[in-house]
Amino acid sequence: MSQRQIKITYHSLEANKATERIIDPYFIEPAAPGHASYVIGYCHQRKEIRIFKIERISSSELTDVSYSIPTDFDANEYFASSWGIVVEDEVKTLKLEIKDQEIVRILNETIWHPSQKFEKQKDGSTLMTLQITGTYEFLAWILGWGEKVEVLEPQELREAIVRTIGAMLDKKEAGQTQPLSK
């Protein structure tokens, strides 16, 4: 099957202004946590497979140029190590300790990532191990569990959580937070 290239005007997060790109779309990935969708495809400007957030595409035009998706492209394999949409980072081993049995049950009921493994510990806690990229995407997920989940590894993720919580407390102490409405 043959597809046609698309000329898009794209405003990347890092750029000051939008640029035109020619892309060969391979796959569309909806990402529930960010309430967004992404196009994965070959970018002729960068000469590599890139991820484009659909909400950052301000215009698109179908061209007359055909292309074929490479037979060795597999979207499941492409995202296999990612927690979310970030695939460029190195794969890291994450170890979490969960002591709350209700949270253990919730975590066990869901396939959060294909690499997840759970191991019951002698003290009654559960160790969750993952192999993922994009640990900054993972940080928000961890913070959502609050004190019920502790990051054991990697150390830089533990430190990022401590920094984030510290910054949140600094804002509270400086009176920069608003109480939640009831």
> Residue 132 corresponds to which tokens in the numbers above?
């993922």
Q: Which fold has domain 3-78?
A: SH3 type barrels. (2.30.30)
133, 89 contact by CB (below 8 A) = yes
Average pLDDT rounded to a whole number, residues 144-168: 90
Q: Which of 42-51, 52-61, 164-173 has the lowest mean pLDDT?
A: 164-173
Rounded Cα distance between 130 and 7, Å, is 38
Rounded Cα distance between 47 and 23, Å, is 10
> Any long-range contacts for 99-107 (C-beta under 8 Å, 24+ apart)?
99/124, 99/125, 99/148, 99/150, 100/148, 103/145, 103/148, 103/149
Average pLDDT rounded to a whole number, residues 23-52: 89
Q: pLDDT grade, residue 181 (50/70/90)?
A: low
pLDDT of residue 34: 66
Distance set, CA 30 to CA 24, 52, 71 (Å) = 18, 12, 22
Rounded Cα distance between 37 and 33, Å, is 10
Q: Which fold has domain 92-173?
A: Alpha-Beta Plaits (3.30.70)
Average pLDDT rounded to a whole number, residues 32-55: 89
Percentage of the chain beyond pLDDT 90 is 52
120: exposed, middle or buried (Cβ count in 10 Å: 0-12, 13-18, 19+): exposed
pTM value > 0.75: no
Q: pLDDT grade, residue 108 (50/70/90)?
A: confident
- CATH topology match: 3-78 vs 92-173: no
Enumerate the domain spans of the chain: 3-78, 92-173
Interval 86-99: pLDDT, tens = 777 788 899 999 98
